[in-house]
Amino acid sequence: MPEPIPFGQRLRSAMQASGPLCVGIDPHPALLEAWGLENTADGVRSFSLAVVEAMAGAAAILKPQVALYERFGSKGFGALEDTLSAAKAAGLLTLADAKRGDIGSTMAAYATAWLDDASPLASDAVTLSPYLGYESLRPALDLAAATGRGVFVLGLTSNPEGPSVQHVGGENSVAKTIIDQVTAENSGAEDLGHIGLVVGATIGDAPAKLGIDLAASKAPLLTPGLGAQGATAADIAKSFVSSYGQVLGTSSRDILKAGPDKTALRDKALRVRDELLAAS
């Protein structure tokens, strides 16, 4: 069988074709209600498939929030499987926002669930939590590389609690240690590596204060916080500067509230995408 195309290469192609936008699929109860849908697995399915239909050509990648499917048990996972399948059929990349992290055979099982070709939940990438140690993620890192998929490791998040862990250590902070390991792993990539980082859109000058060089990491940078959490494309460009070409501006509620009309949903996504392009 031919070697799979590396995730970083596939992602760059999608960013060049459709712009540097990641749209989160977050079927929160309030959004379902606003769309006139029931807070059920069927409502989640209808919501998600509408987002997929609207986003072809408007976003590089879609990011379903796994917890909002998981709350409905097997029916919720069925809705997620249908969403992932529809996105693939539409030519859209998918990032399962599952934030998995464990050790040994359990981590290997998580990797199989989200990154193995045979899994019904197989996505183009998955978010991971490295706080049991970066090398605890090894089964997922290696399987992603083998299958042409990617991972996004929590690096510098913008939630208020994040610095209490991530900034500990000063010049040798937890965040810098994790990002240095990602940098080493991606060193052979010509452009984007298969290991991305989750770096909040509202982190400000934290990378500079912690001595972190995001551009050197060659990591795709998932930047939650655009729109509803207050960050603008201009804010992201100011914070990321030399690494802005790696940024996937990430917006969920700010775009999703434009639904349920698919044309309005798409138009909002295109406006956000164009703002990201204009800020480069």
Catalytically active residues are 99
> Which residues, listed in sequence order, are joined to residue 248 by a DSSP beta bridge?
222
CA 231/CA 71 separation, integer angstroms: 29
Q: 195: closest CA among 118, 134, 257? A: 134
CA 265/CA 90 separation, integer angstroms: 16
Helices (H), 124-192: 138-147, 163-166, 174-185
Identify the helix (H) or strand (E) that includes residue 47.
helix 41-55
Both tokens of 237, joined, read 């460009």
> Which residues, listed in sequence order, are joined to residue 5 by a DSSP beta bridge?
none
Q: Which residue type does 140 have?
A: A
Please give the torsion angle defined by the CA atoms of residues 31, 37, 42 and 45, in that order, rounded to the nearest 10 degrees.
-50
Largest CA distance in the chain: 50
Show Cβ contacts of residue 207 under 8 Å, excluding neighbours closer than 6 positions.
156, 199, 213, 214, 239
Beta strands in 70-183 (DSSP E): 93-100, 125-128, 150-156
| 249: three-class secondary structure by DSSP | strand
CA distances from 46 to 123, 168, 245, 248, 265 (A): 19, 43, 34, 26, 14
